[in-house]
Structure 1
Amino acid sequence: MSVTAPGWYLVGAPWDCSALGRGERLAPAALRAAGLSELVPDDAGDVPVVIDDARRDEATGVLALRQTARAARVLADGLDDAAGRRPGRRPLVVGGDCSLLLGVLPWLRRSRDRVGLWFVDGHPDFLDGAASPTGETADMDLALLTGSGPEQLTAPAGVSAPLVAPGDVVLVGHRTRDLDPEAAAEVARVPDTVRRIDAPAVLDAPRACGERAAALLAGVDGGVWLHVDCDVLDPAAMPAVTYPEPGGPGLGQLGDLLAPLLASPRLLGLSIADFRPDLDPDGVHAAALVALLRRLL
Protein backbone atom coordinates (compact mmCIF):
# COMPACT_ATOMS: atom_id res chain seq x y z
CA MET A 1 0.00 0.00 0.00
CA SER A 2 1.35 3.45 -0.90
CA VAL A 3 1.80 6.06 1.80
CA THR A 4 0.74 9.65 1.14
CA ALA A 5 1.29 12.88 3.06
CA PRO A 6 -2.13 14.29 3.92
CA GLY A 7 -2.50 18.05 4.01
CA TRP A 8 0.42 18.76 1.65
CA TYR A 9 0.67 19.75 -2.00
CA LEU A 10 3.70 19.89 -4.26
CA VAL A 11 5.10 22.86 -6.18
CA GLY A 12 8.20 22.62 -8.37
CA ALA A 13 10.52 25.63 -8.52
CA PRO A 14 13.32 24.82 -11.04
CA TRP A 15 15.20 27.96 -10.01
CA ASP A 16 18.83 28.23 -11.14
CA CYS A 17 20.39 31.51 -10.05
CA SER A 18 23.67 30.67 -11.79
CA ALA A 19 22.04 31.27 -15.21
CA LEU A 20 24.13 28.33 -16.45
CA GLY A 21 21.50 25.62 -16.61
CA ARG A 22 23.02 23.93 -13.58
CA GLY A 23 21.68 20.67 -12.17
CA GLU A 24 19.48 22.06 -9.38
CA ARG A 25 16.79 22.90 -11.93
CA LEU A 26 16.36 19.16 -12.59
CA ALA A 27 15.49 18.31 -9.00
CA PRO A 28 11.67 18.64 -9.13
CA ALA A 29 11.40 16.10 -11.95
CA ALA A 30 13.99 13.75 -10.43
CA LEU A 31 12.36 13.72 -7.00
CA ARG A 32 8.93 13.13 -8.50
CA ALA A 33 10.34 10.15 -10.39
CA ALA A 34 11.97 8.86 -7.19
CA GLY A 35 8.60 8.59 -5.44
CA LEU A 36 7.69 12.11 -4.36
CA SER A 37 4.64 12.10 -6.63
CA GLU A 38 3.29 9.09 -4.75
CA LEU A 39 4.01 10.68 -1.38
CA VAL A 40 2.47 14.04 -2.35
CA PRO A 41 0.04 13.27 -5.18
CA ASP A 42 -1.57 16.73 -5.11
CA ASP A 43 0.86 18.34 -7.57
CA ALA A 44 0.51 21.95 -8.72
CA GLY A 45 3.28 21.45 -11.28
CA ASP A 46 6.35 23.59 -11.89
CA VAL A 47 6.30 27.37 -11.78
CA PRO A 48 8.01 28.62 -14.98
CA VAL A 49 10.89 30.60 -13.48
CA VAL A 50 13.64 31.53 -15.93
CA ILE A 51 17.08 32.97 -15.14
CA ASP A 52 19.51 32.81 -18.04
CA ASP A 53 21.21 36.22 -18.05
CA ALA A 54 24.79 35.55 -16.91
CA ARG A 55 25.68 39.24 -16.51
CA ARG A 56 26.34 40.88 -13.15
CA ASP A 57 24.64 44.18 -12.37
CA GLU A 58 27.29 46.90 -12.48
CA ALA A 59 25.99 48.79 -9.45
CA THR A 60 25.35 45.87 -7.09
CA GLY A 61 27.42 42.96 -8.40
CA VAL A 62 24.34 40.71 -8.32
CA LEU A 63 24.05 38.23 -11.16
CA ALA A 64 20.92 38.52 -13.33
CA LEU A 65 19.41 41.12 -11.01
CA ARG A 66 16.41 42.08 -13.14
CA GLN A 67 15.63 38.52 -14.18
CA THR A 68 15.88 37.37 -10.57
CA ALA A 69 13.42 40.04 -9.43
CA ARG A 70 11.07 38.96 -12.22
CA ALA A 71 11.48 35.28 -11.33
CA ALA A 72 10.66 36.07 -7.69
CA ARG A 73 7.38 37.69 -8.77
CA VAL A 74 6.54 34.76 -11.04
CA LEU A 75 7.15 32.27 -8.23
CA ALA A 76 5.17 34.31 -5.71
CA ASP A 77 2.26 34.53 -8.16
CA GLY A 78 2.47 30.80 -8.87
CA LEU A 79 2.40 29.98 -5.17
CA ASP A 80 -0.54 32.35 -4.71
CA ASP A 81 -2.48 30.59 -7.45
CA ALA A 82 -1.71 27.10 -6.12
CA ALA A 83 -2.62 28.03 -2.55
CA GLY A 84 -5.88 29.66 -3.62
CA ARG A 85 -7.06 26.34 -5.01
CA ARG A 86 -5.97 24.40 -1.91
CA PRO A 87 -7.22 26.17 1.21
CA GLY A 88 -5.99 24.70 4.47
CA ARG A 89 -3.14 22.75 2.88
CA ARG A 90 0.62 23.34 3.11
CA PRO A 91 3.03 23.62 0.17
CA LEU A 92 6.14 21.52 -0.30
CA VAL A 93 8.26 23.62 -2.65
CA VAL A 94 11.01 21.66 -4.39
CA GLY A 95 13.86 23.64 -5.96
CA GLY A 96 16.08 24.69 -7.52
CA ASP A 97 18.57 26.54 -5.38
CA CYS A 98 18.12 28.43 -2.12
CA SER A 99 17.30 31.76 -3.68
CA LEU A 100 13.84 30.41 -4.50
CA LEU A 101 13.08 31.91 -1.08
CA LEU A 102 13.09 35.30 -2.84
CA GLY A 103 9.73 34.21 -4.25
CA VAL A 104 8.42 32.27 -1.25
CA LEU A 105 8.81 34.99 1.39
CA PRO A 106 7.14 37.77 -0.66
CA TRP A 107 4.23 35.40 -1.28
CA LEU A 108 3.88 34.74 2.46
CA ARG A 109 4.15 38.45 3.28
CA ARG A 110 1.33 39.38 0.91
CA SER A 111 -1.11 38.11 3.53
CA ARG A 112 0.95 38.38 6.73
CA ASP A 113 2.66 41.25 8.49
CA ARG A 114 5.20 38.99 10.12
CA VAL A 115 6.65 35.58 9.34
CA GLY A 116 9.54 33.54 10.71
CA LEU A 117 12.12 31.36 8.98
CA TRP A 118 13.89 28.18 10.02
CA PHE A 119 16.90 28.27 7.67
CA VAL A 120 18.60 24.87 7.69
CA ASP A 121 21.76 25.18 5.61
CA GLY A 122 25.44 24.26 5.65
CA HIS A 123 26.24 27.93 4.91
CA PRO A 124 24.80 31.21 6.21
CA ASP A 125 24.24 32.59 2.67
CA PHE A 126 25.12 36.06 3.89
CA LEU A 127 27.43 37.50 1.23
CA ASP A 128 26.62 40.49 -0.96
CA GLY A 129 27.22 41.23 -4.61
CA ALA A 130 30.70 42.60 -3.97
CA ALA A 131 31.84 39.78 -1.68
CA SER A 132 30.39 36.91 -3.70
CA PRO A 133 32.85 35.45 -6.23
CA THR A 134 29.98 34.68 -8.62
CA GLY A 135 27.25 37.20 -7.79
CA GLU A 136 24.77 34.34 -7.43
CA THR A 137 21.82 35.11 -5.19
CA ALA A 138 22.29 31.67 -3.59
CA ASP A 139 25.37 33.21 -1.93
CA MET A 140 23.30 35.97 -0.35
CA ASP A 141 19.67 34.90 -0.05
CA LEU A 142 19.50 35.14 3.75
CA ALA A 143 21.09 38.60 3.61
CA LEU A 144 18.52 39.70 1.03
CA LEU A 145 15.59 38.25 2.98
CA THR A 146 16.65 40.12 6.11
CA GLY A 147 16.94 43.44 4.28
CA SER A 148 20.56 43.69 3.14
CA GLY A 149 20.97 44.22 -0.61
CA PRO A 150 19.35 45.86 -3.64
CA GLU A 151 15.79 47.06 -3.15
CA GLN A 152 14.52 45.07 -6.15
CA LEU A 153 15.06 41.91 -4.09
CA THR A 154 14.78 43.08 -0.47
CA ALA A 155 11.50 44.98 -0.93
CA PRO A 156 9.48 43.61 -3.86
CA ALA A 157 6.50 45.65 -5.03
CA GLY A 158 3.86 45.84 -2.34
CA VAL A 159 6.00 44.25 0.39
CA SER A 160 8.13 46.21 2.84
CA ALA A 161 11.67 45.26 3.82
CA PRO A 162 12.81 43.17 5.49
CA LEU A 163 10.86 40.20 4.22
CA VAL A 164 11.74 38.51 7.51
CA ALA A 165 13.15 40.30 10.55
CA PRO A 166 16.60 39.04 11.58
CA GLY A 167 15.24 38.23 15.03
CA ASP A 168 12.61 35.97 13.42
CA VAL A 169 15.24 33.77 11.76
CA VAL A 170 16.90 30.68 13.19
CA LEU A 171 19.98 29.65 11.21
CA VAL A 172 20.55 25.92 11.74
CA GLY A 173 23.34 23.58 10.71
CA HIS A 174 25.87 26.08 9.35
CA ARG A 175 29.50 25.15 9.77
CA THR A 176 31.56 27.02 12.34
CA ARG A 177 34.69 24.87 12.70
CA ASP A 178 37.79 24.57 10.50
CA LEU A 179 36.59 27.33 8.17
CA ASP A 180 38.79 29.02 5.61
CA PRO A 181 39.12 32.83 5.99
CA GLU A 182 36.41 33.60 3.42
CA ALA A 183 33.87 31.29 5.05
CA ALA A 184 34.70 32.63 8.51
CA ALA A 185 34.21 36.19 7.25
CA GLU A 186 30.78 35.23 5.89
CA VAL A 187 29.71 33.79 9.24
CA ALA A 188 30.90 37.02 10.89
CA ARG A 189 28.59 39.06 8.63
CA VAL A 190 25.46 37.47 10.09
CA PRO A 191 23.71 39.93 12.46
CA ASP A 192 23.81 39.08 16.14
CA THR A 193 19.99 39.21 16.18
CA VAL A 194 19.77 36.10 13.97
CA ARG A 195 19.46 33.08 16.29
CA ARG A 196 21.95 30.33 15.50
CA ILE A 197 22.27 26.61 16.11
CA ASP A 198 25.43 25.45 14.41
CA ALA A 199 26.39 22.08 12.94
CA PRO A 200 28.40 20.88 15.97
CA ALA A 201 25.34 21.42 18.17
CA VAL A 202 23.15 19.53 15.70
CA LEU A 203 25.57 16.61 15.60
CA ASP A 204 25.57 16.44 19.39
CA ALA A 205 21.79 16.52 19.93
CA PRO A 206 19.73 16.84 16.72
CA ARG A 207 16.25 16.45 18.17
CA ALA A 208 16.96 18.83 21.06
CA CYS A 209 18.21 21.37 18.51
CA GLY A 210 14.98 21.01 16.55
CA GLU A 211 12.95 21.52 19.69
CA ARG A 212 15.00 24.58 20.56
CA ALA A 213 14.55 26.07 17.08
CA ALA A 214 10.80 25.50 17.31
CA ALA A 215 10.64 27.19 20.71
CA LEU A 216 12.66 30.20 19.55
CA LEU A 217 9.99 31.12 16.98
CA ALA A 218 6.91 29.94 18.88
CA GLY A 219 5.80 33.56 19.30
CA VAL A 220 5.72 34.44 15.59
CA ASP A 221 1.98 34.71 15.11
CA GLY A 222 2.12 34.84 11.30
CA GLY A 223 3.74 31.42 11.13
CA VAL A 224 7.15 30.08 10.17
CA TRP A 225 8.55 28.72 6.92
CA LEU A 226 10.99 25.79 7.00
CA HIS A 227 13.76 25.81 4.40
CA VAL A 228 16.26 22.99 3.97
CA ASP A 229 19.34 23.21 1.77
CA CYS A 230 20.60 19.70 1.05
CA ASP A 231 24.16 20.84 1.66
CA VAL A 232 23.38 20.94 5.38
CA LEU A 233 24.00 17.20 5.14
CA ASP A 234 27.50 15.84 5.37
CA PRO A 235 28.91 15.02 1.91
CA ALA A 236 29.22 11.38 2.97
CA ALA A 237 25.42 11.30 3.15
CA MET A 238 24.63 13.74 0.33
CA PRO A 239 27.37 14.47 -2.21
CA ALA A 240 24.93 15.57 -4.93
CA VAL A 241 25.00 19.29 -4.12
CA THR A 242 26.76 22.29 -5.62
CA TYR A 243 28.70 23.35 -2.54
CA PRO A 244 29.34 20.31 -0.29
CA GLU A 245 30.59 21.14 3.18
CA PRO A 246 32.03 18.56 5.62
CA GLY A 247 30.97 18.42 9.22
CA GLY A 248 27.22 18.05 8.80
CA PRO A 249 24.61 15.56 9.97
CA GLY A 250 23.60 12.34 8.31
CA LEU A 251 20.10 11.68 7.03
CA GLY A 252 18.90 10.14 10.29
CA GLN A 253 20.19 13.08 12.31
CA LEU A 254 18.61 15.55 9.90
CA GLY A 255 15.31 13.73 10.30
CA ASP A 256 15.56 14.02 14.08
CA LEU A 257 16.32 17.74 13.75
CA LEU A 258 13.42 18.46 11.40
CA ALA A 259 10.74 16.40 13.15
CA PRO A 260 9.92 19.01 15.84
CA LEU A 261 9.81 21.78 13.23
CA LEU A 262 7.41 19.87 10.99
CA ALA A 263 5.26 19.15 14.03
CA SER A 264 5.10 22.83 15.02
CA PRO A 265 1.67 24.48 14.86
CA ARG A 266 3.48 27.54 13.41
CA LEU A 267 4.64 25.67 10.29
CA LEU A 268 3.52 27.31 7.03
CA GLY A 269 5.31 25.07 4.56
CA LEU A 270 8.58 23.51 3.54
CA SER A 271 11.13 24.09 0.78
CA ILE A 272 13.92 21.74 -0.27
CA ALA A 273 16.82 23.16 -2.29
CA ASP A 274 20.22 22.46 -3.85
CA PHE A 275 19.80 18.81 -4.79
CA ARG A 276 21.75 18.00 -7.99
CA PRO A 277 20.29 15.01 -9.89
CA ASP A 278 23.06 15.34 -12.47
CA LEU A 279 25.47 14.30 -9.70
CA ASP A 280 23.24 11.34 -8.77
CA PRO A 281 23.20 9.18 -11.93
CA ASP A 282 21.90 6.09 -10.14
CA GLY A 283 19.12 7.96 -8.31
CA VAL A 284 20.35 6.72 -4.92
CA HIS A 285 20.36 10.12 -3.28
CA ALA A 286 17.02 11.17 -4.76
CA ALA A 287 15.51 8.02 -3.26
CA ALA A 288 17.13 8.81 0.10
CA LEU A 289 15.63 12.30 0.14
CA VAL A 290 12.17 10.98 -0.69
CA ALA A 291 12.54 8.34 2.07
CA LEU A 292 13.41 11.11 4.52
CA LEU A 293 10.35 13.11 3.48
CA ARG A 294 8.18 9.99 3.76
CA ARG A 295 9.36 9.60 7.35
CA LEU A 296 8.69 13.24 8.18
CA LEU A 297 5.50 14.10 6.28
Structure 2
Amino acid sequence: MRAVRVPVPDTAGAEGDGVRALDVLTAVATRTRAALGECGAATVVTVGGDCGVEVEPVSAALARHGDGLVVVWFDAHGDLNTPGSSPSHAFHGMVLRTLLGDGHRDLVPPRALRPGQVILAGVRALDPAELAYATDAGLAWHTVPELTADPGVLVPAVAAAGGTAVYIHIDLDVLDPEEFGSLSYPEAGGLSVGALRDAVRALTARFPLAGLGITEYAPRREEDQAVLASLVPALLADIATG
Protein backbone atom coordinates (compact mmCIF):
# COMPACT_ATOMS: atom_id res chain seq x y z
CA MET A 1 0.00 0.00 0.00
CA ARG A 2 1.25 3.47 -0.88
CA ALA A 3 0.03 6.89 0.24
CA VAL A 4 -0.26 9.87 -2.08
CA ARG A 5 -0.57 13.31 -0.54
CA VAL A 6 -1.98 15.80 -3.01
CA PRO A 7 -1.53 19.57 -2.47
CA VAL A 8 -4.69 21.57 -1.85
CA PRO A 9 -5.37 23.47 -5.08
CA ASP A 10 -5.95 27.19 -4.93
CA THR A 11 -9.33 27.31 -6.63
CA ALA A 12 -9.80 31.04 -6.34
CA GLY A 13 -8.42 31.60 -9.83
CA ALA A 14 -10.15 32.50 -13.06
CA GLU A 15 -12.99 30.43 -14.45
CA GLY A 16 -12.28 28.43 -17.60
CA ASP A 17 -15.19 27.03 -19.66
CA GLY A 18 -17.40 26.79 -16.58
CA VAL A 19 -14.74 25.38 -14.25
CA ARG A 20 -12.98 27.61 -11.74
CA ALA A 21 -9.16 27.43 -11.64
CA LEU A 22 -8.99 25.01 -14.55
CA ASP A 23 -5.25 25.56 -15.00
CA VAL A 24 -4.58 24.60 -11.39
CA LEU A 25 -6.75 21.51 -11.67
CA THR A 26 -5.02 20.23 -14.78
CA ALA A 27 -1.61 20.82 -13.16
CA VAL A 28 -2.65 18.87 -10.06
CA ALA A 29 -3.96 16.05 -12.29
CA THR A 30 -0.63 15.86 -14.08
CA ARG A 31 1.32 15.66 -10.81
CA THR A 32 -1.06 13.06 -9.43
CA ARG A 33 -0.72 10.87 -12.52
CA ALA A 34 3.04 11.02 -12.12
CA ALA A 35 2.82 10.02 -8.45
CA LEU A 36 0.47 7.15 -9.28
CA GLY A 37 2.87 5.95 -11.93
CA GLU A 38 5.59 5.69 -9.31
CA CYS A 39 3.29 3.62 -7.09
CA GLY A 40 2.79 0.95 -9.74
CA ALA A 41 0.22 -1.66 -8.77
CA ALA A 42 0.07 -0.70 -5.11
CA THR A 43 -3.23 0.12 -3.47
CA VAL A 44 -3.14 3.88 -3.04
CA VAL A 45 -4.44 6.06 -0.23
CA THR A 46 -4.94 9.64 -1.45
CA VAL A 47 -5.18 12.48 1.03
CA GLY A 48 -6.51 15.79 -0.34
CA GLY A 49 -7.16 18.55 -0.88
CA ASP A 50 -10.70 18.80 -2.01
CA CYS A 51 -12.58 16.06 -3.83
CA GLY A 52 -11.01 17.10 -7.12
CA VAL A 53 -7.92 15.07 -6.26
CA GLU A 54 -9.90 11.86 -6.74
CA VAL A 55 -10.16 11.89 -10.56
CA GLU A 56 -6.77 10.36 -11.24
CA PRO A 57 -6.73 7.76 -8.41
CA VAL A 58 -10.22 6.50 -9.32
CA SER A 59 -9.26 6.44 -13.01
CA ALA A 60 -6.16 4.39 -12.20
CA ALA A 61 -8.25 1.94 -10.16
CA LEU A 62 -10.74 1.65 -13.03
CA ALA A 63 -7.93 0.90 -15.47
CA ARG A 64 -6.75 -1.90 -13.17
CA HIS A 65 -10.09 -3.46 -12.24
CA GLY A 66 -12.37 -2.59 -15.16
CA ASP A 67 -16.02 -3.50 -14.81
CA GLY A 68 -15.31 -5.21 -11.50
CA LEU A 69 -14.62 -1.88 -9.78
CA VAL A 70 -17.35 -0.32 -7.65
CA VAL A 71 -16.86 3.18 -6.23
CA VAL A 72 -18.55 3.91 -2.90
CA TRP A 73 -18.91 7.69 -2.55
CA PHE A 74 -19.16 8.68 1.13
CA ASP A 75 -20.06 12.36 0.93
CA ALA A 76 -22.73 14.78 2.09
CA HIS A 77 -22.86 16.06 -1.50
CA GLY A 78 -23.25 14.22 -4.77
CA ASP A 79 -20.50 16.04 -6.70
CA LEU A 80 -22.72 15.41 -9.74
CA ASN A 81 -22.84 18.84 -11.34
CA THR A 82 -21.44 19.69 -14.77
CA PRO A 83 -19.79 22.96 -15.80
CA GLY A 84 -23.16 24.00 -17.17
CA SER A 85 -25.26 23.11 -14.11
CA SER A 86 -22.91 24.10 -11.29
CA PRO A 87 -23.99 27.24 -9.39
CA SER A 88 -20.44 27.83 -8.12
CA HIS A 89 -18.32 26.44 -10.99
CA ALA A 90 -16.12 24.84 -8.32
CA PHE A 91 -14.77 21.54 -9.60
CA HIS A 92 -15.14 19.72 -6.30
CA GLY A 93 -18.89 19.74 -6.98
CA MET A 94 -18.37 18.06 -10.39
CA VAL A 95 -15.90 15.30 -9.60
CA LEU A 96 -18.14 12.25 -9.62
CA ARG A 97 -20.02 13.43 -12.72
CA THR A 98 -16.64 13.90 -14.44
CA LEU A 99 -15.67 10.34 -13.52
CA LEU A 100 -18.98 9.26 -15.06
CA GLY A 101 -17.94 10.88 -18.33
CA ASP A 102 -19.73 14.25 -18.21
CA GLY A 103 -17.46 17.22 -17.59
CA HIS A 104 -14.83 19.50 -18.96
CA ARG A 105 -12.90 17.95 -21.85
CA ASP A 106 -9.55 18.57 -20.10
CA LEU A 107 -10.64 16.72 -16.96
CA VAL A 108 -12.81 13.80 -18.14
CA PRO A 109 -10.74 10.59 -17.93
CA PRO A 110 -10.19 8.35 -20.95
CA ARG A 111 -12.44 5.67 -19.47
CA ALA A 112 -15.61 6.60 -17.62
CA LEU A 113 -17.39 4.81 -14.84
CA ARG A 114 -20.79 3.35 -15.60
CA PRO A 115 -23.62 4.52 -13.29
CA GLY A 116 -23.95 0.92 -12.10
CA GLN A 117 -20.41 1.12 -10.71
CA VAL A 118 -21.25 3.95 -8.30
CA ILE A 119 -22.94 3.83 -4.89
CA LEU A 120 -23.76 7.05 -3.06
CA ALA A 121 -23.37 6.72 0.71
CA GLY A 122 -24.58 9.33 3.18
CA VAL A 123 -25.39 11.89 0.47
CA ARG A 124 -28.00 14.36 1.74
CA ALA A 125 -27.50 17.70 -0.05
CA LEU A 126 -28.06 17.69 -3.82
CA ASP A 127 -28.70 20.54 -6.21
CA PRO A 128 -31.83 20.03 -8.37
CA ALA A 129 -29.77 19.14 -11.45
CA GLU A 130 -27.78 16.59 -9.42
CA LEU A 131 -30.93 14.97 -8.08
CA ALA A 132 -32.38 14.76 -11.57
CA TYR A 133 -29.22 13.12 -12.88
CA ALA A 134 -28.97 10.65 -9.98
CA THR A 135 -32.60 9.65 -10.51
CA ASP A 136 -32.38 9.35 -14.29
CA ALA A 137 -29.10 7.44 -14.17
CA GLY A 138 -30.41 5.09 -11.47
CA LEU A 139 -27.50 5.62 -9.11
CA ALA A 140 -27.62 3.38 -6.04
CA TRP A 141 -28.03 5.47 -2.90
CA HIS A 142 -27.87 4.57 0.78
CA THR A 143 -28.93 7.20 3.28
CA VAL A 144 -27.50 8.12 6.67
CA PRO A 145 -30.35 6.35 8.53
CA GLU A 146 -29.78 3.19 6.49
CA LEU A 147 -26.04 3.21 7.15
CA THR A 148 -26.55 3.98 10.82
CA ALA A 149 -29.00 1.12 11.26
CA ASP A 150 -26.82 -1.36 9.36
CA PRO A 151 -23.24 -0.34 8.47
CA GLY A 152 -22.94 -3.59 6.50
CA VAL A 153 -25.71 -2.66 4.06
CA LEU A 154 -23.15 -1.59 1.45
CA VAL A 155 -21.64 -5.07 1.17
CA PRO A 156 -24.60 -6.68 -0.66
CA ALA A 157 -25.00 -3.47 -2.68
CA VAL A 158 -21.43 -3.76 -4.00
CA ALA A 159 -21.92 -7.47 -4.65
CA ALA A 160 -25.15 -6.78 -6.54
CA ALA A 161 -23.27 -4.29 -8.71
CA GLY A 162 -20.83 -7.03 -9.70
CA GLY A 163 -18.00 -5.60 -7.64
CA THR A 164 -14.79 -7.58 -7.29
CA ALA A 165 -12.89 -4.60 -5.84
CA VAL A 166 -14.00 -1.40 -4.15
CA TYR A 167 -12.69 2.15 -4.26
CA ILE A 168 -13.78 4.12 -1.20
CA HIS A 169 -14.07 7.89 -1.42
CA ILE A 170 -14.53 9.74 1.86
CA ASP A 171 -15.36 13.41 1.92
CA LEU A 172 -15.25 14.10 5.63
CA ASP A 173 -18.42 16.17 5.41
CA VAL A 174 -20.27 12.85 5.31
CA LEU A 175 -19.77 13.02 9.08
CA ASP A 176 -22.15 14.83 11.37
CA PRO A 177 -20.70 18.29 12.10
CA GLU A 178 -21.77 17.98 15.72
CA GLU A 179 -19.22 15.18 16.05
CA PHE A 180 -16.58 16.35 13.56
CA GLY A 181 -16.55 20.06 12.83
CA SER A 182 -13.39 20.61 10.75
CA LEU A 183 -15.30 20.86 7.49
CA SER A 184 -15.57 23.47 4.75
CA TYR A 185 -19.16 22.59 3.83
CA PRO A 186 -20.86 20.93 6.82
CA GLU A 187 -24.32 19.43 6.44
CA ALA A 188 -26.44 18.48 9.44
CA GLY A 189 -27.59 14.92 9.95
CA GLY A 190 -24.42 13.09 8.97
CA LEU A 191 -22.86 9.80 9.96
CA SER A 192 -21.18 9.25 13.28
CA VAL A 193 -17.47 8.48 13.17
CA GLY A 194 -18.26 4.99 14.42
CA ALA A 195 -20.83 4.30 11.70
CA LEU A 196 -18.41 5.45 8.99
CA ARG A 197 -15.65 3.29 10.42
CA ASP A 198 -17.91 0.24 10.63
CA ALA A 199 -19.24 0.71 7.09
CA VAL A 200 -15.76 0.98 5.62
CA ARG A 201 -14.42 -1.97 7.56
CA ALA A 202 -17.39 -4.10 6.48
CA LEU A 203 -16.52 -3.31 2.85
CA THR A 204 -12.80 -3.96 3.20
CA ALA A 205 -13.42 -7.22 5.03
CA ARG A 206 -15.35 -8.49 2.01
CA PHE A 207 -13.72 -6.85 -1.03
CA PRO A 208 -10.15 -6.01 -2.04
CA LEU A 209 -9.50 -2.31 -1.61
CA ALA A 210 -8.65 -0.73 -4.96
CA GLY A 211 -7.98 2.64 -3.34
CA LEU A 212 -9.06 5.02 -0.61
CA GLY A 213 -9.43 8.80 -0.79
CA ILE A 214 -9.84 11.04 2.26
CA THR A 215 -10.69 14.61 1.39
CA GLU A 216 -11.98 18.00 2.53
CA TYR A 217 -10.35 18.25 5.96
CA ALA A 218 -10.49 21.89 7.03
CA PRO A 219 -8.77 22.18 10.44
CA ARG A 220 -10.94 24.20 12.81
CA ARG A 221 -11.07 22.37 16.14
CA GLU A 222 -8.18 20.78 17.98
CA GLU A 223 -10.31 17.85 19.07
CA ASP A 224 -10.99 16.90 15.45
CA GLN A 225 -7.28 16.24 14.89
CA ALA A 226 -7.42 13.47 17.44
CA VAL A 227 -10.56 12.02 15.84
CA LEU A 228 -8.91 11.95 12.43
CA ALA A 229 -5.68 10.51 13.81
CA SER A 230 -7.58 7.55 15.24
CA LEU A 231 -10.04 7.16 12.34
CA VAL A 232 -7.55 6.69 9.51
CA PRO A 233 -5.66 3.72 11.07
CA ALA A 234 -9.00 2.15 11.96
CA LEU A 235 -10.14 2.39 8.33
CA LEU A 236 -6.96 0.74 7.09
CA ALA A 237 -6.73 -2.03 9.65
CA ASP A 238 -6.93 -5.61 8.42
CA ILE A 239 -7.75 -4.71 4.82
CA ALA A 240 -7.37 -6.83 1.72
CA THR A 241 -5.62 -4.94 -1.07
CA GLY A 242 -6.06 -5.49 -4.77
Query: Shared fold (TM-score greater than 0.5)?
Result: yes
Q: Which residue of 2 aligns with 1:55?
A: 14
Asked if the contact 2:70/2:158 (under 8 Å) is kept, the reply is no
- In structure 2, what is the Cα distance between the partners aligned to 1:173 and 1:214? 15
Deviation at 1:185, TM superposition (A): 4.3
Structure 1, 265-274 or 189-198: larger mean CA deviation:
189-198
Q: Which amino acid aligns with 1:80?
A: G
Asked if the contact 2:47/2:213 (under 8 Å) is kept, the reply is yes
Structure 1, 268-277 or 189-198: larger mean CA deviation:
189-198
Q: 2:51 aligns with which of 77, 81, 98?
A: 98
- The yes-or-no answer on 1:183 pairing with 2:137 is no
Q: Which amino acid aligns with 1:260?
A: A
Structure 1, 223-232 or 124-133: larger mean CA deviation:
124-133
SS at match of 2:4: strand
Q: Deviations over 1:22-53 (max 9, x none)?
A: xxxxxxxxxxxxxxxxxxxxxxxxxxxxxxxx
Q: Deviations over 1:229-285 (max 9, x none)?
A: 1000011111111110011111111112111112233321211001112x23x2x21
- 214 and 109 in structure 1: CA distance in 2 versus 1, 3 angstrom threshold: closer
Kindly name which structure, 1 or 2, has the bigger radius of gyration based on alpha carbons: 1
- The yes-or-no answer on 1:15 pairing with 2:11 is no
- The yes-or-no answer on 1:145 pairing with 2:99 is yes
Q: Which residue of 2 aligns with 1:38?
A: none
Asked if the contact 1:214/1:264 (under 8 Å) is kept, the reply is no
Q: Deviations over 1:208-233 (max 9, x none)?
A: 3232344234x234x32111110000
Asked if the contact 1:80/1:107 (under 8 Å) is kept, the reply is no
CA RMSD of aligned residues (A): 2.1
Q: Deviations over 1:140-178 (max 9, x none)?
A: 1111110111222113xxx23x1x111101111101xxx
In structure 2, the gaps of 5 or more residues are 238-242
- In structure 2, what is the Cα distance between the partners aligned to 1:293 and 1:275? 12
- The yes-or-no answer on 1:196 pairing with 2:138 is no
SS at match of 1:152: coil
TM-score normalized by the length of structure 1: 0.72
TM-score normalized by the length of structure 2: 0.87
In structure 1, the gaps of 5 or more residues are 1-7, 21-53
Q: Which residue of 2 aligns with 1:287?
A: 226
Q: Which amino acid aligns with 2:231?
A: L
Asked if the contact 1:225/1:268 (under 8 Å) is kept, the reply is yes
- In structure 2, what is the Cα distance between the partners aligned to 1:291 and 1:77? 30
- The yes-or-no answer on 1:167 pairing with 2:116 is yes
- In structure 2, what is the Cα distance between the partners aligned to 1:67 and 1:94? 17
Aligned residues: 234
Asked if the contact 1:214/1:260 (under 8 Å) is kept, the reply is no
Deviation at 1:186, TM superposition (A): 2.6
Q: Which residue of 2 aligns with 1:31?
A: none
Asked if the contact 1:220/1:266 (under 8 Å) is kept, the reply is no
Q: Which amino acid aligns with 2:212?
A: L
Asked if the contact 2:61/2:211 (under 8 Å) is kept, the reply is no
Q: Which amino acid aligns with 2:28?
A: A
Deviation at 1:287, TM superposition (A): 1.6
Q: 1:212 aligns with which of 125, 143, 156?
A: 156
Matches within 5 A, 1:270-285: 270-277=212-219, 279-280=220-221, 282=222, 284-285=223-224
- The yes-or-no answer on 1:231 pairing with 2:173 is yes
SS at match of 2:106: helix
